[in-house]
Amino acid sequence: MTEAAALPPPEPVRIGIVSISDRASSGVYEDKGLPALQDWLSRALHNPIEFVPRLIPDEQAGISATLIDLVDQAACSLVLTTGGTGPALRDVTPEATLAVAHKEMPGFGEQMRQISLRFVPTAILSRQVAVIRHQSLIINLPGQPKAIQETLEGLKASDGSALVPGIFAAVPYCVDLIGGPYLETRDEVCKAFRPKTAQRPAR
């Protein structure tokens, strides 16, 4: 029996995915945020994933209530939002996220802007934040599917080496530290980083 075959199966994880858009939530156009999040996470993780999706308008109280529900009631270990993080009057996702936070994790927002600045100077207008509520990590992502992938996965050179690390490389260890399931990434999509003392045998 090989070592990989002898490993226990990956732990299941429940992930909340939230697309925040007035027009998509009212049916004016098709939402692309939820499919983009679900596709990337399904490719990146070995873990069996139960997605808890929400498509909601840009209303601060409603966004906060959704995040509380996904963490406190649905018991999601990870919640990813997309949309509503710019400077426009209706962009209130960061405020709604900070309002439900127990701890802020500013490094995620800093790195997201560094990644986006490789493409557009207007990345400095983005206001994405990441926070911890109870035993859940909540991260605001950009609104466009291409930007979602770049932010999570990072940028790679033509030979496959990393140019700029994506934020998801730090997510599994963060989830470990707050008492969540052990997330196992597929290295070809995104290689998680953990200290050696926190690593389990690779699959």
User: Does residue 202 form part of some domain?
Assistant: no
pLDDT at position 168: 98
User: Does residue 203 form part of some domain?
Assistant: no
Domain that holds residue 35: 11-196
Rg (CA), the chain: 17
User: Does residue 47 form part of some domain?
Assistant: yes
Instruction: Name the percent of the chain lying above pLDDT 70.
Output: 98
Q: What is the dihedral of CA 155, 172, 47, 141, to 10 degrees?
A: -50
What mean pLDDT is predicted for residues 120-131? 96
pTM summary value: 0.95
Residue 203 — very low, low, confident or very high, per pLDDT cuts 50/70/90? Answer: confident
| Per-residue pLDDT tens over the stretch 54-92 | 999 999 999 999 999 999 999 999 999 999 999 999 999
> In sequence order, what DSSP letters do the residues of 88-136 get, joined into one string?
STT--HHHHHHTT-SEE-HHHHHHHHHHHHTT-GGGGG----EEEETTE
pLDDT at 8 over 80: yes
| Per-residue pLDDT tens over the stretch 164-202 | 889 999 999 999 999 999 999 999 899 999 999 999 998
| Per-residue pLDDT tens over the stretch 99-115 | 999 999 999 999 999 99
Residue 67: give its domain's CATH number: 3.40.980.10
The structural domain count of the chain equals: 1
User: Does residue 32 form part of some domain?
Assistant: yes
User: Does residue 2 form part of some domain?
Assistant: no
User: Does residue 162 form part of some domain?
Assistant: yes
